[in-house]
Chains A and B, each alone.
Chain A
Amino acid sequence: GAGVSQTPSNKVTEKGKYVELRCDPISGHTALYWYRQSLGQGPEFLIYFQGTGAADDSGLPNDRFFAVRPEGSVSTLKIQRTERGDSAVYLCASSLSGTGNYGYTFGSGTRLTVV
């Protein structure tokens, strides 16, 4: 597609459940990033993929969070045993290369609400 696509756009889940958030980057973009944006805040880095591998996962808050990108294109962010504090907008972005010298192109995000 022309842009970064994220699905679902909204997700409401109960505390303790498992959720998966999907990101389709721009075709040909090798670098993919996940960010989390809480209400009234700027996005915060979670994880960066270069191709299939997670090159930097230092932003993942704990081991309940995991992300994969098995074929170097689509990525899935997985959250286990969700907590109310996980409620946020999860943004995915992609760029042509890992340097991101042209900035990222962001998707519209998935708004996750844990009740």
Chain B
Amino acid sequence: GQQLNQSPQSMFIQEGEDVSMNCTSSSIFNTWLWYKQDPGEGPVLLIALYKAGELTSNGRLTAQFGITRKDSFLNISASIPSDVGIYFCAGQRGNQFYFGTGTSLTVIP
């Protein structure tokens, strides 16, 4: 299936630090989304991006849809302990979302 490369695979940061993660694809997507998944739960939508070049913020989160439509990044500013979890990017084509392999974030108080 479609492969989305997400990096880094894991991150260990101090509380208050900023975080950046990104997602690249060999194919073009019409929509990029970022999800967060806590243990034992389904992914929860954080940010959706619909246009190439779009930069969108949601509180401490900022995400951008790459100009080539083949990549996206997510930034988290001033991290807090509840930011811990696995972050997934997803690209939409037609009825399907193709998910990356996830970035595991650990925030050290």
A contacts, CB < 8 Å to B: 4, 33, 40-45, 48, 55-56, 58-59, 91, 93, 98, 100-109
Contact = CB atoms under 8 A, between A and B. Distances in A.
Nearest to A50: B95
B109 interface: no
Given A43-B43, A44-B1, A56 B95 contact: yes
A104 B42 CA distance: 10
B99 interface: yes
Contact of B99 (A4, A40, A44, A100): A44
B-side interface size class = 20 to 34
B102 A108 contact: no
A-B pairs with lowest CB-CB distance, top 7: A106-B42, A42-B99, A103-B45, A45-B96, A48-B95, A56-B95, A43-B99
B25 to A, nearest CB: 12
Interface in B62-92: 88, 90, 92
Contact of B42 (A44, A45, A100, A109): A109
Main secondary structure of the interface of B (DSSP, over half): strand
A5 to B, nearest CB: 11
10 contacts: A41-B101, A41-B102, A42-B4, A45-B96, A55-B95, A59-B1, A102-B48, A104-B45, A106-B43, A108-B40
Contact of B31 (A101, A108, A109): A101
Contact of A42 (B31, B41, B42, B88): B88
A105 B96 CA distance: 14
